[in-house]
Chains A and B, each alone.
Chain A
Amino acid sequence: MTGFRLADGGRIDRRTKRNFTFDGKARWGYAGDSLASALLAQGQMLFGRSFKYHRPRGILGAGVEEPNALVTVDRGPGRKTPNLRAPSVALHDGLAATSQNRFPTLKTDLIAVNNMLSAFFPAGFYNKTFMWPRAAWEKVYEPIIRRLAGLGDSPTTRDPDHYDATYAHCETLVVGAGPAGIAAALEAAASGGRVFLIDEQEEIGGGALSDPAQWAWLAEASAKLAAMDNVTVLPRTTAIGHYHQNFVVAAQRLTDHLPVDEAEGPREKLWRIRAGEVVLAMGAIERPLVFEGNDVPGVMLASAAKTFALRYGVAVGRKLVVMALHDSGWHDALALHKAGVNIAAIVDLRREIAPELAEAARDARIACYPGYAVTGVSGGQAVNGVTVALAGVGKGQKLECDAVLMAGGWTPTVHLWSHAKGTLRWDENWGAYVPDKTHENLRCVGACAGDWDFGSGLVRGLLPAPKPLHESKAFVDFQNDVKARDIGLAVQEGFRSIEHIKRYTTNGMATDQGKTSNLNGLQIASGVLHRPVTDIGLTTFRPPYTPQSFGAILGHHKEALFQPLRKTGIDDWADAHGAVYENVAQWRRARYFPQGSEDMDAAVARECRTVRSAVGIFDASTLGKIEVVGPDAAEFLNRMYTNPWKSLEPGRCRYGLLLGEHGFIIDDGVSARLAPDRFHLTTTTGGAARVLNMMEDYLQTEWADLDVWLTSTTEQWSVIAVQGPKARRVIAPLVEGIDLSPEAFPHMAVREGKICGVDTRLFRVSFTGELGFEVNVPAEYGRMVWEAIWAEGEKHGAAAYGTETMHVLRAEKGFIIVGQDTDGTVTPDDAGLGWAVGKKKPDFVGKRSLARPDIVAAGRKQLVGLLTDDPQAVLEEGAQIVADPNQPVPMTMIGHVTSSYHSATMGRSIAMALVAGGRDRMGETLHIPMPGKTISAKVVAPMFYDPEGSRLNG
């Protein structure tokens, strides 16, 4: 034996050395080692410090249940990962691991002073103190507690790695590739269906990896599975959760086991697997025992010691004592003995030991202590002996050893079963919950089903001890430093259910999610309360099974792919012409086009002036568009919108107002009747999908008798608004087949023809108050037509304008923007749009709600205009309005500013506002209290420019 490495055995490759560092010191191991086995082989017993008391801690388990040995692995800039479990970290060349939660070093941790003060920090201590003086909690106590809490350090820079994700479908998904899982996969594969076999470890085999007798069989089965086309085997893949209808999410680790310079491609891959049948073969996890000193480094699970010896060729000590309550401890001890590990003694609380086990131990010259319990462990940072006593209370007897193995029985891994809302039943033989019923096509096989022969044992977590419970330092949850006495204290303080006990003590809430502590906690609570375990309840397992990187979960959904950014066909042109953008719903839209050193105000003022004096061109393609077709199209719109539609003649347009059934405005837009049975609807940019869905809803479910078809055409059309007195002159040379004269083509009309040789639906509409056209062309020609219009426009001094100018121009005319001047609580009358409600219509969506008492009551907020007394003062949008500026806070607010701009046209500021009883306040002066000053403004009609509408004619 070199160090703690056994002379032979294990699945490690002794010809291939791996160099790595731990806390900066050079170490080495073999290919096939885990970080834990390599460090153990070099005699490292101390792996970390506990969460609360900073007690020295070693390895407990050899797998995902490990609570103590958490490390940070540094794979270069931005690639630091905290809280990895050393037994699950595959060793590779250049691995750089550091221990956590210690200051300054693992061996000399000054914060271990907490341990000496632990009497003052029992479960729930923080509820009982830190309350005086009142301000000190946030200023003093909480910052200290926060600095002490937490395990490793969060990354602080952007992660350069990327993560993959995929969907998969199969007839059978087997989770866990131990003997039971492999058998299930082979059986399922034989029937020809698609089979996925996934396992969290570096290689498949599960428990068989720790049993050399099974290796030949395992190799054969692996080869057989690999050769089958219908089988996908995924090692290093953890099923993190089971969701509705056999939707299992699994995460595959692709590169972390490789040296940094060999790691290519994504770091992890998320598999979202929908399976016909899910077979859980997740095995069982051995339970630790709860006794004084059970957390000294060197005290670990018997199964872990066996795995380290037989799979990795590492002895966890030179002289081991086994504390067993279960036959499996004897089996493991004998296997270890056979592998050359020195087992000094087996202590078992049971007086009666199965004769064949006792005999085998005798043959191996292992001292046996039936009826005894370990009552104490000596050693600080490593075990140097144990005290054993008959029945735990007899005279203590010291045994020299450097490691203690615990065999407390087995807990079936029912996590995914529980995720699926499968029920559990208590199995007295296992001393654990085992799967019972499920409504999914889901079954458990092997140990996780409670169907595995580990032998028999005593069911109790807490060993009898000479000290009373409230004085003992026997740990239940190692990572969270929960002692058996904390559970006793919780019960003493009136916490009865396991959910309460868990939350009060934090038992089972550490990063191992209670894999080794839940059952022991439950048993101890049951003992203290003198009630059966099943009365105490059980804690629910929630996904994920083991902690899972955010990166794999979000996959490709980051940066540009977080959400699609929609761009119009003209977006490139805007970009090339210096547009500043804003995001509107999923779209980006040009907000303004600054020239030279212009800021937004200057650019907008110029754009506004140009539209009013010459012509402006605006990309309105983001407007939602719906084609409504069918003999009942007019009837349908008549029912949907507030306005009458049946009387609208083909070739004409109408402003439509859409309410929810609750009577409040939810959308608007100008729509055209192209033919008796065909309408071209427009919606707001953000509302397109919502409106279409709503219309489909009514059409399909309320008025299925109407013969109407709805099609979203938002992306079929590019829309170019040409607005201003010269608008007609700009488009005239480009348009064919449409008479543009005012007589032939009046305001609010639509014509079909050609522009630049392309089919167009040409609207004569205006959201600016100027003569205006909206040119609809098939989206693929949008850029071409835009450039042609722009070329013509330049001859007339045109400006391209963006959404900000559009907003100012429409506000000058008092046109509302749904979502800005309305907010989901505004009726047509509130918005001054009573004229858009068909008075004679018997019904339309939302009509009945408009008759509700509060909607017809006086004093509702109504849309008005505001003119500040100081014409240069621009109100802030969202500013609140009061009648009496001198009242104390809280003030009575009567409304708020919805839109506010400096109007270059008017040479002053203008604003729109919703004000209680606003239309009765015309001429009244209201006040807008701002920090440090109050602005006064006069209520006016929300129409600031050209109230006669004469400019519509150019």
Chain B
Amino acid sequence: MTTMKRFSGFNLIGEAFRSHQGWPEHWPDKAPKASYDAIIVGAGGHGLGAAYYLAKKYGITNVALIEKGWLGGGNTGRNTTIIRSNYLYDESAHLYDHAVKLWDGLSQELNYNIMYSKRGVLMLAHNVHDVQSFKRHIHANRLNGVDNEWLTPEECKAYCPPLDISPRTRHPVLGGALQRRGGTARHDSVAWGYARAASALGVDIIQNCAVTGIRRGADGAIEGVETERGFIASRRVGVSAAGSTSLVMKMAGLDFPLESYPLQALVSEPVKPIFPCVVMSNTVHAYMSQSDKGELVIGAGTDQYTSYSQRGAFHIVEHTLAAICEIFPIFTRMRMLRTWGGIVDVTPDRSPILGKTPVKGLYVNCGWGTGGFKATPGAGDLLAYTMAHDEPHKINAPYNLDRFRNGRLIDEAAAAAVAH
């Protein structure tokens, strides 16, 4: 175990007087050992979280976290950082609220400011169907102990002044559902904070080490993973590889109900504070917040076809900005600074798969689609729990693979036509 130099304002001032030469590495870059008690494949936020919680909560510290590129370089570093838990079904509300509870206080727990900002997530209703659907969410959330409240159009405007609530718009605002605990966090900091804390607990973070195969014993159980840097043995392997999950699962002989789609996002040039919260509108297909740096952070939709190109089409951006300016017409003179694409893995019911697989010792966390960031601490914790106990926690038990056979789907989007 390495000792972690504590982050604090006091130490920051102290270091300032010696030009910050005393800060150690956030995480040492490790070469793989021959074997581990547990291996996590994929060092995104979820995988990093799983490694951290394995070591912190479940007492398994001999853990390797294997990443084909650089940690946090996939969807963790490419998303629009929205956090919320006002989902409809009990299963989803419990899953995402588990994460939101962990977000709260995560900076202190990791000793790393991940900048969780409870700015509120406001979801706009534009027609009677939206109103019915949002009210259903609000009532279900209330009885599940998840905050979510209805705002009138005027209250929406007061909460988010750039909003146009005039009836002249193509899709007038009829109200909104506000989750005040929702908000944003700094995505890179989440990855780095988990990496630093996991590393301090003894987790080996092994970057630039692609998994090339999964080795199973005569009894079918997991024996370890083949990698670019040789075989690494472990009887417990958790795969948390987002868009690449189905490729890794194929190595274990498993076909998965997953498809990978391009998803784009974009930011504007940074400006002084103008946009105080997160706003989502499913009917016009737009969501937006303003980062601490001042950029308007805008999420676009997925392209229609599967792809690993991390590149989307321009008409998706056109539509997204049209949607943004439809509800926030003051922003047409703002300028788009940067666009980028990620690969999102989507299941048939657009809910994740988090639990055991048919292969003994092989666990999976995937299928988060466009909504994985908000679940980061929860998904990490639940994957770690499942690996440590060889049983899912009751929160993630419904997110099994069996549901695609028995029909017990968890289809939030079908139920509400609400984007994740």
Binding site for B on A (CB under 8 A): 51, 79-83, 119-120, 122, 125-132, 134, 137-138, 142, 145-147, 149-159, 161, 163, 241, 243-244, 247, 249, 272, 421, 470-471, 485, 489, 492-497, 499-500, 503-504, 506, 509, 511, 513, 542-544, 547-551, 553-555, 557-560, 562-563, 565, 582-584, 591, 662-664, 819-820, 823-825, 849, 852-855, 876-880, 882, 889-891, 893, 896, 929-931
B20: which of A122, A543, A547 is its contact (CB, 8 Å)?
Answer: A122
B16: which of A80, A119, A243 is its contact (CB, 8 Å)?
Answer: A119
* Given A272-B314, A559-B169, residue A853 in contact with residue B117 (CB < 8 A): no
Chain A neighbourhood of B340, CB < 8 A? 542
Chain B neighbourhood of A241, CB < 8 A? 314, 339
B132: which of A134, A249, A492, A820 is its contact (CB, 8 Å)?
Answer: A820
Among residues of B, the one whose C-beta sits closest to the C-beta of A135 is: B118
Instruction: Please tell me if B58 contacts chain A, counting CB pairs below 8 Å.
Output: no
Chain B neighbourhood of A485, CB < 8 A? 19
Q: Of residues 39 to 89 in B, which have CB atoms within 8 Å of A's CB atoms?
A: 69-70, 72-73, 77
Subset of 18 A-B contacts with CB under 8 Å: A129-B9, A149-B270, A150-B293, A152-B271, A154-B334, A163-B332, A244-B313, A470-B21, A499-B73, A500-B72, A511-B270, A547-B269, A555-B322, A558-B329, A583-B127, A664-B414, A823-B414, A889-B145
Chain B neighbourhood of A542, CB < 8 A? 338-340
Q: Give the complex CA separation of A163 and B111 in angstroms.
A: 48
Residue contact A132 to B138, C-beta cutoff 8 Å: no
Chain A neighbourhood of B137, CB < 8 A? 878
Residue contact A149 to B274, C-beta cutoff 8 Å: no
Nearest CB of chain B from residue A852's CB, rounded to whole Å: 4
Residue contact A663 to B407, C-beta cutoff 8 Å: yes
Chain B neighbourhood of A130, CB < 8 A? 9, 113
Q: Of residues 327 to 357 in B, which have CB atoms within 8 Å of A's CB atoms?
A: 329-340, 348
Instruction: Please tell me if B140 contacts chain A, counting CB pairs below 8 Å.
Output: yes
Chain A neighbourhood of B321, CB < 8 A? 550, 553-554
Chain A neighbourhood of B138, CB < 8 A? 878
Residue contact A824 to B414, C-beta cutoff 8 Å: yes
Q: Give the complex CA separation of A125 and B26 in angstroms.
A: 13
Among residues of A, the one whose C-beta sits closest to the C-beta of B21 is: A470
Residue contact A421 to B311, C-beta cutoff 8 Å: yes
Among residues of A, the one whose C-beta sits closest to the C-beta of B145 is: A889
Residue contact A852 to B407, C-beta cutoff 8 Å: yes
Q: Give the complex CA separation of A299 and B143 in angstroms.
A: 64
Residue contact A159 to B333, C-beta cutoff 8 Å: yes
Chain A neighbourhood of B318, CB < 8 A? 553-555, 557
Q: Give the complex CA separation of A583 and B125 in angstroms.
A: 12
Nearest CB of chain B from residue A665's CB, rounded to whole Å: 11
Instruction: Please tell me if B188 contacts chain A, counting CB pairs below 8 Å.
Output: yes
Residue contact B325 to A550, C-beta cutoff 8 Å: yes
Binding site for A on B (CB under 8 A): 7-9, 11-13, 16-17, 19-21, 23-29, 69-70, 72-73, 77, 90, 94, 105, 107-108, 111-119, 126-129, 132-140, 142-145, 168-171, 186, 188-189, 192-193, 207, 268-275, 284, 290, 292-294, 309, 311, 313-314, 317-319, 321-326, 329-340, 348, 403, 405-409, 411, 413-416
Residue contact A138 to B270, C-beta cutoff 8 Å: no
Nearest CB of chain B from residue A817's CB, rounded to whole Å: 10
Chain A neighbourhood of B311, CB < 8 A? 243-244, 421
Residue contact A149 to B339, C-beta cutoff 8 Å: no
Q: Give the complex CA separation of A557 and B168 in angstroms.
A: 15
Chain A neighbourhood of B114, CB < 8 A? 127
Residue contact B139 to A890, C-beta cutoff 8 Å: no
Residue contact B330 to A159, C-beta cutoff 8 Å: yes
Q: Give the complex CA separation of A548 and B337 in angstroms.
A: 7
Nearest CB of chain B from residue A484's CB, rounded to whole Å: 12
Chain A neighbourhood of B24, CB < 8 A? 493-494
A852: which of B113, B269, B332, B406 is its contact (CB, 8 Å)?
Answer: B406
Chain B neighbourhood of A583, CB < 8 A? 126-127, 171
Q: Give the complex CA separation of A496 and B207 in angstroms.
A: 10
Nearest CB of chain B from residue A201's CB, rounded to whole Å: 18
Chain B neighbourhood of A79, CB < 8 A? 333
* Given A128-B7, A155-B334, A854-B407, residue A554 in contact with residue B325 (CB < 8 A): yes
Q: Give the complex CA separation of A696 and B72 in angstroms.
A: 43
Q: Give the complex CA separation of A147 and B9 in angstroms.
A: 20
Q: Give the complex CA separation of A497 and B26 in angstroms.
A: 14
* Given A503-B77, A583-B171, residue A470 in contact with residue B133 (CB < 8 A): no
Residue contact B330 to A158, C-beta cutoff 8 Å: yes
* Given A134-B108, A544-B339, A562-B326, residue A155 in contact with residue B331 (CB < 8 A): yes
Chain B neighbourhood of A664, CB < 8 A? 414
Residue contact B269 to A128, C-beta cutoff 8 Å: no
Residue contact B113 to A877, C-beta cutoff 8 Å: no
Residue contact A878 to B338, C-beta cutoff 8 Å: no
Known: A126-B292, A879-B135. 16 other contacts (CB 8 A): A120-B12, A127-B193, A128-B112, A146-B292, A150-B293, A150-B294, A154-B334, A496-B207, A547-B268, A558-B329, A562-B284, A582-B127, A824-B413, A825-B415, A890-B143, A896-B140
Among residues of A, the one whose C-beta sits closest to the C-beta of B329 is: A158
Chain B neighbourhood of A149, CB < 8 A? 270, 272, 292-294
Nearest CB of chain B from residue A160's CB, rounded to whole Å: 10
Nearest CB of chain A from residue B313's CB, rounded to whole Å: 6
Residue contact B136 to A878, C-beta cutoff 8 Å: yes
Chain B neighbourhood of A494, CB < 8 A? 24-29
Among residues of B, the one whose C-beta sits closest to the C-beta of A468 is: B19
Among residues of B, the one whose C-beta sits closest to the C-beta of A500 is: B70
Nearest CB of chain A from residue B411's CB, rounded to whole Å: 6
- Most A CB within 10 A of own CB, among B107, B331, B348: B331
* Given A249-B314, A554-B325, A565-B170, residue A127 in contact with residue B136 (CB < 8 A): no
Chain B neighbourhood of A142, CB < 8 A? 115, 117, 292
Chain B neighbourhood of A495, CB < 8 A? 26
Residue contact A154 to B330, C-beta cutoff 8 Å: yes
Nearest CB of chain B from residue A129's CB, rounded to whole Å: 4
Among residues of B, the one whose C-beta sits closest to the C-beta of A855 is: B407
Nearest CB of chain A from residue B31's CB, rounded to whole Å: 14
Chain B neighbourhood of A147, CB < 8 A? 272-273
* Given A553-B318, A554-B322, A896-B136, residue A155 in contact with residue B112 (CB < 8 A): no
Chain A neighbourhood of B113, CB < 8 A? 126-131, 137
Q: Give the complex CA separation of A852 and B403 in angstroms.
A: 10
* Given A824-B415, A878-B138, residue A155 in contact with residue B333 (CB < 8 A): yes
Chain B neighbourhood of A145, CB < 8 A? 292
Chain B neighbourhood of A879, CB < 8 A? 135-136, 139
Q: Give the complex CA separation of A555 and B107 in angstroms.
A: 42
Residue contact B405 to A852, C-beta cutoff 8 Å: yes
Residue contact A159 to B132, C-beta cutoff 8 Å: no
Among residues of A, the one whose C-beta sits closest to the C-beta of B134 is: A878
Residue contact B270 to A150, C-beta cutoff 8 Å: yes
- Most A CB within 10 A of own CB, among B12, B23, B405, B415: B12
Top 7 A-B residue pairs of the complex, sorted by shortest distance between their CB atoms = A824-B414, A150-B294, A878-B136, A494-B25, A878-B135, A852-B407, A547-B335
Residue contact A549 to B325, C-beta cutoff 8 Å: no
Among residues of B, the one whose C-beta sits closest to the C-beta of A118 is: B16
Nearest CB of chain B from residue A913's CB, rounded to whole Å: 11
* Given A126-B115, A550-B336, A890-B144, residue A825 in contact with residue B330 (CB < 8 A): no
Residue contact B135 to A489, C-beta cutoff 8 Å: no
Q: Give the complex CA separation of A854 and B105 in angstroms.
A: 39
